[in-house]
Amino acid sequence: NAGVMQNPRHLVRRRGQEARLRCSPMKGHSHVYWYRQLPEEGLKFMVYLQKENIIDESGMPKERFSAEFPKEGPSILRIQQVVRGDSAAYFCASSGLQETQYFGPGTRLLVL
Amino acid sequence: KQEVTQIPAALSVPEGENLVLNCSFTDSAIYNLQWFRQDPGKGLTSLLLIQSSQREQTSGRLNASLDKSSGRSTLYIAASQPGDSATYLCAVKGSQGNLIFGKGTKLSVKP
């Protein structure tokens, strides 16, 4: 049973480009969470999704960031027109009926 | 607004020592509390989850306690080993399902 998969593991973008981060939850999990870890900071919640629904996006910046979890396929975190301040590690977690959230290895985004 | 604090920020101990990591939270209305381990450049590994109705959980050399009324949790590591070196994160589950994290305690166990 594969764990939470994230790709790419490392992503380099120039300012103004788009970044797409993918997360495949553990088999059988229908809840997906995205978190961001800025350098020297703790993990901060961004968005919570279930299949085809955004449940809580209170941690998402109002502009340039969006997330989806379609009926088929991985969850996508999309950052438009990236800026240097977007450089961070982005982690995805999934859970099933049980409470425990299982985390992926993260995507490390570097904006040049 | 829930805030989670972990002290100390960093800790260095000799191999074999027992140690305690501390976590405090400001709002006692939590659903559960989870301890994670994060190795440099890696993701998070869940160590222990304590439900709000529970007082402690144990796994091997690890024991986590929860005192909801005082807003505190401790992670006890017995007979520490160099392989325990990592950053330990405490997180509480909010009302919406997301986790609220502390900044972590960076542990170094010297051989």
pLDDT band at B85 (very low <50, low <70, confident <90, very high): very high
Q: Are B90 and B38 a contacting pair, CB within 8 Å?
A: no
Q: Which positions in chain B touch A48 (Cβ < 8 Å)?
A: 96-98
* Collapsed DSSP state (helix, strand, coil) of residue A86: helix
Q: Which positions in chain A touch B45 (Cβ < 8 Å)?
A: 103
Contacts 24+ apart (CB under 8 A), A57-65: A58/B96, A59/B98
Pairwise CA distance, residues B73 & B66, whole Å: 4
> pLDDT per residue over B19-34, tens digit each?
999 999 999 989 899 9
Mean pLDDT computed over A30-43 = 90
Residue A1's pLDDT is 54
Whether the CB of B46 is below 8 Å from some CB of chain A: the reply is yes
Provide the shortest C-alpha distance from residue B103 to chain A (in Å): 4
Residue numbers of A between 21 and 60 with CB closer than 8 Å to B: 31, 33, 35, 41-45, 48, 55-56, 58-59
Nearest by CB: A41 against B42, B91, B103: B103
Residue A79's pLDDT is 98
pLDDT band at B67 (very low <50, low <70, confident <90, very high): very high
Residue B94's pLDDT is 77
Q: Which positions in chain A touch B24 (Cβ < 8 Å)?
A: none
Paired strand residues for B101: B91
Q: Which two tokens stand for residue A59?
A: 């941690």
Residue A28's pLDDT is 87
Nearest CA in chain B to A103: B44
* Collapsed DSSP state (helix, strand, coil) of residue B84: helix
Percent of chain B with pLDDT over 90: 87
* Mean pLDDT rounded to a whole number for chain A: 93
pLDDT band at A98 (very low <50, low <70, confident <90, very high): low
> pLDDT per residue over A9-22, tens digit each?
999 999 999 999 99
pLDDT at residue A96 tops 90 = no
Pairwise CA distance, residues B17 & A4, whole Å: 34
Substitution target from B2, B39, B50, B98 for chain A, most A beta carbons within 10 A: B98
Q: Who contacts A81 (Cβ-Cβ below 8 Å, separation ≥6)?
A: A15, A16, A17, A18, A64
Pairwise CA distance, residues A48 & B33, whole Å: 18
pLDDT at residue B4 tops 90 = yes
> pLDDT per residue over A64-93, tens digit each?
999 999 988 999 999 999 999 999 999 999
